[in-house]
Amino acid sequence: MNPRSESVLYVVKAGIIAGMVYVGSRILPAERVTSDVTAAVLNFFGIAAESYEQAGRIYLEYLQISVDCTALEIIAIFLGLILAVKASRTRKVIFSVTGSSGVFLANIARISVVYYLLEKGVPWWIAHDLFSGGLSILAGMLFLVVSEQYLPQINENLYTLLDACETFVSKIR
């Protein structure tokens, strides 16, 4: 199989794995865990915050914590990219556990900072939209940098696909 075909197959596998991880993770109480841990972090730093459930929804004080607040999507994508790569099982497991844990903790920090900024009167679009978007970009870049060192096969597949896309675009111009 040529490198482009292998890379396409890799991305398809990664997508299937990511989808399975995401759907499977929905049986977990992710919103509740995210809200509870964030409240504990805020309280540790002297910022009063309570996590609670009301009418089937999870809240951190006045903020509803939905599935979008759990980082499950990015964890699923990272796990798909990691688990689909041809590499030793040990490296994949270590990178999966540390990567998922890192994303979870970064997400808790993100929600904590957003809550703190909102409490200080910073507008929602700055505290949430701008800050969270920037953090997401940073997390993606950090993943690529770390994977280049730890599982370079991930980036090799992505670079091969990028090269194929550039070649395709140059041919249709």
**Would you write out the chain's pLDDT as a tens digit for each of its 173 residues?**
787 788 889 999 999 999 999 999 989 999 999 999 999 999 999 999 999 999 999 999 999 999 989 999 999 999 999 999 999 999 999 999 999 999 999 999 999 999 999 999 999 999 999 998 898 899 889 988 999 999 999 999 889 988 888 888 888 87
Q: Which of 132, 15, 126 lies closest to 81 in space, CA to CA?
A: 15
Predicted confidence at residue 12, as pLDDT, reads 94
Q: By three-state DSSP, how is residue 6 classified?
A: helix
* pTM (predicted TM-score): 0.86
Map out the domains of the chain as residue ranges.
3-168
Contacts of 30 (CB under 8 A, 6+ apart): 67, 70, 72
Please, are residues 11 and 157 in contact by the beta-carbon 8 Å criterion? Answer: yes
